[in-house]
Amino acid sequence: MQRKFLTNLVLLLFLNLIIKPLWIFGIDLQFQNLVGTEEYGFYFTILNFSFLFNIILDLGITNFNNRNIAQNSHLLHKHFSNIFVVKLLLLVVYFIFTLTTGFLIGYDQQQLRLLAVVGFNQFLLSFILYLRSNISGLLLFTTDSILSVLDRVFMILLLGFLIWFPATRKIFKLEWFVYAQTISYIITVIIGLVVVIRKSAFKRLNWNWPFILMILKKSFPYAVLVLLMTSYNRIDSVFIERLLPKGVGETQVGIYASAFRILDAVNMVAYLFSVLLLPLFANMLKNRHDIRPMLTLSFNMVFVLSVSIAILSFIYRYEVMTMLYPVHIDESTTEFASRIQQASQLFGLLMFGFVAISSSYVMGTLLTAHGSLLKLNITATISMICSVVFNLVLVPSLMAYGSGLASLVSQYMSATIQIYLVIKLFKVEVNYGYLVRLGVFLVLTFILSFVLKLTPLKWGYSVVISVILIIIVVFTLKLLDFKLLIHHLQPRSANNRTA
């Protein structure tokens, strides 16, 4: 299982590290710079508002399905033919609920119109994730890896032309960005459907009401968990926009989005671990395999990755923000300096949350595979309450930075509780020598990176040298075993594969 995990993780990371940076820096970043901070803040608020009700589109079906198919692959045909119909019905419910709520909280006609299109995109994305849950549940990780980046490939092609072609760049509209996403998602859904239909020997749709009720009942705990986690992860920008005066709120959301963009990007890398780990953990637990080696390997990898990225982001926060966000056409030097200063401070703060989020992608995934949904839901409820309270208290005075503080506290609270639950449930012995090595790694990473920042080297060179030194520290402290990694990544002989 460790070999399967590592080889497929390499493929998944390879594809995503090629496509996702092109999307983030070549398309999404250019989109924000084209439309401006306030206009992008308007879009970002609508996007996050649509995320709050995303659970209606799924009701936990995707996570339940992933775990269930990984343990009972023969049920794919029966489940798919019924769940397909359920997903279409949930789309109707989602539209009614989302648009009604948007109207009640005071969204105007322009906001509601954009919300409708963004909401439909959320449905398409949810359906893609459901299709992928079937494919990864069958442990077809190569196919799932390709599907994980396919929608972004189409978006890059469509939006790349619109953004970079001079004639369309001059008149680029926010709506084009949203419509291009719609087209890309539709194409990806069609391709995913073809794959799943072939694997499930699908012939026709079924409507078995008792069976559907059973699925919804079993999926409900997953639905609650996703709702709670989405709430405290995505509610920040909504609080900023609603609690601050009009104009100020949109601008602060735009600043928050500037800092949040890179956190969102690196989160996708950590999320890839959970994509592979959920079916693997579920399969291992069913077959009574020892999960501790896999747990240690995956946790070490995300800890090393997240700490390194968080510290480097904090130290070079101003340089990164200045590089990514140039002066707007209608912006004075003073306004630019203020915007970059606020974005830099917020970026340095938010990136430390990546360590907690990455830990949750491993620990929370193991608890999900184990079926400990009640414990996870209690944890998520505590974190959500914490996030709401801190946002209400801090946003009016500290604006976007206060929301960043709220996010940081809630993320670390959730990660700490999940680590405790894993230690208790799986009887993991606390190795104090191992904890010391983690602490030494954290301290050395900060010291080495900070000292290199003080040298006359250009900051890009300092980052590269820091990464090389961090890798040396990792293997010196034996947080990762170089020989073991090479052994797992080497192709197996025919005899080994047969065995």
DSSP structure string for 389-426: HHHHHHHHHHTHHHHHHHHHHHHHHHHHHHHHHHHHHT
CA distance 444 to 448: 6
Residue with tokens 């956190």: 263
Q: Which two tokens stand for residue 43?
A: 């879009």
Is 300 exposed, middle or buried, given 0-12, 13-18 or 19+ CB atoms closer than 10 A? buried
Is 236 exposed, middle or buried, given 0-12, 13-18 or 19+ CB atoms closer than 10 A? buried
Query: Which sequence spans correspond to the domains of the chain?
Result: 2-429
Name the residue among 310, 321, 309, 334 with its Cα closest to residue 256: 321
Can you say how many angstroms the Cα of residue 69 is from the centroid of all Cα atoms in its chain?
A: 23
Task: Give the number of other Cβ atoms within 10 Å of residue 89's Cβ.
Answer: 11
- At 174 the pLDDT is 79
Residue with tokens 């619109």: 162
- At 453 the pLDDT is 92
Residue ranges in the chain whose pLDDT is less than 70: 1-13, 37, 70-75, 77-78, 201-206, 230-234, 328-331, 481-499
* DSSP per position, 434-459: HHHHHHHHHHHHHHHHHHHHHSSS-H
List the alpha helices (DSSP H) in 22-75: 29-35, 37-52, 61-71
- At 255 the pLDDT is 83
354-402, pLDDT tens digit by residue?
999 999 888 988 998 888 888 988 998 888 888 889 989 998 988 889 9
- At 203 the pLDDT is 66
- At 11 the pLDDT is 67
Name the residue among 264, 354, 268, 267 with its Cα closest to residue 16: 268
Residue type, position 231, single letter: S
pTM over 0.75: no
- At 443 the pLDDT is 94
CA distance 410 to 332: 36
Q: Which residues contact residue 119 at a Cβ distance below 8 angstroms, ignoring those fewer than 6 apart?
A: 50, 94, 95, 98, 99
Q: Which two tokens stand for residue 123?
A: 């449905």
- At 308 the pLDDT is 93
Name the residue among 247, 321, 241, 238 with its Cα closest to residue 29: 321
CB distance 274 to 283 below 8 Å: no
CA distance 142 to 57: 26
CA distance 213 to 485: 45
Task: Give the number of other Cβ atoms within 10 Å of residue 156's Cβ.
Answer: 19
